[in-house]
Amino acid sequence: MSKEEYAIVLDYLPHGYPLEDERKPIAQAVGKDHFTLLQVVPRRGKSFKAGEEVYIGEGRRDKVHFIQGRLPREKITETAKLNLRDFVTEKIDEKEEEFIKFFNESGPVNARVHQLTLLPGLGKKHTQEILEGREEKPFESFKDIEERVSTLSNPKKAIEKRIMEELTTMQRHNLFIR
């Protein structure tokens, strides 16, 4: 598994987490490439702004003192969740091809469950329509999916909701988050 090189700050807590004894500054961040949720400690005298991109890779880091570890789901602040949703939406636009590939290549999880049915709002009927549509011709864009699968209104939104679920709540099967 490749490591994250850059992260986007989702929320900065200059006095640490409320109700915790340790009052050191900490930032909640998400890795730019793999959606890794992290807790990042700034160098002395440095601070972060939400939305700021920071280097977290190997070697000298200008603003990050160290990565405290993964950000537990139960510690994600409401501000971080809002900023995370914006980040996820942006990433889906940026990597649309990869998500369209998911619609074209996804398969069964087991004998009764297909990966497509794990997307919010998609049931067996939608899944069947998508499978038939991609058999005729692979999908080329979210717009193409919407046009060819008449009952499916917003495939991009379904992807966004699923990624947010995988990031913020424990899931039995993860489709997009490692």
Taking only the tens place, the pLDDT of each residue in 133-165 is 999 999 999 999 999 998 888 999 999 999 999
Structure tokens at 177: 């988050």
Please check whether residue 54 lies inside any domain of the structure.
Answer: yes
Same structural domain, 65 and 24: yes
pLDDT, the chain, mean = 92
Domain limits for position 139: 95-168
Domain harbouring 16, CATH code: 2.40.50.140
Overall domain count for the chain = 2
Please check whether residue 144 lies inside any domain of the structure.
Answer: yes
* Percentage of residues of the chain with pLDDT beyond 90: 78
Same structural domain, 58 and 116: no
CB atoms within 10 A of CB 121: 13
Binned at pLDDT 50, 70 and 90, residue 25 comes out as: very high
pTM for the model: 0.89
* Percentage of residues of the chain with pLDDT beyond 70: 99
Please check whether residue 133 lies inside any domain of the structure.
Answer: yes
Radius of gyration of the chain (CA): 19
The span from the CA of 166 to the CA of 51, in Å, is 21
The least confident of 81-85, 127-131, 152-156 is 152-156
User: What's the distance, CA 107 to chain centroid?
Assistant: 21
Please check whether residue 32 lies inside any domain of the structure.
Answer: yes
The single residue listed with the structure tokens 């067996």 is: 124
Binned at pLDDT 50, 70 and 90, residue 17 comes out as: confident
Domain harbouring 135, CATH code: 1.10.150.280
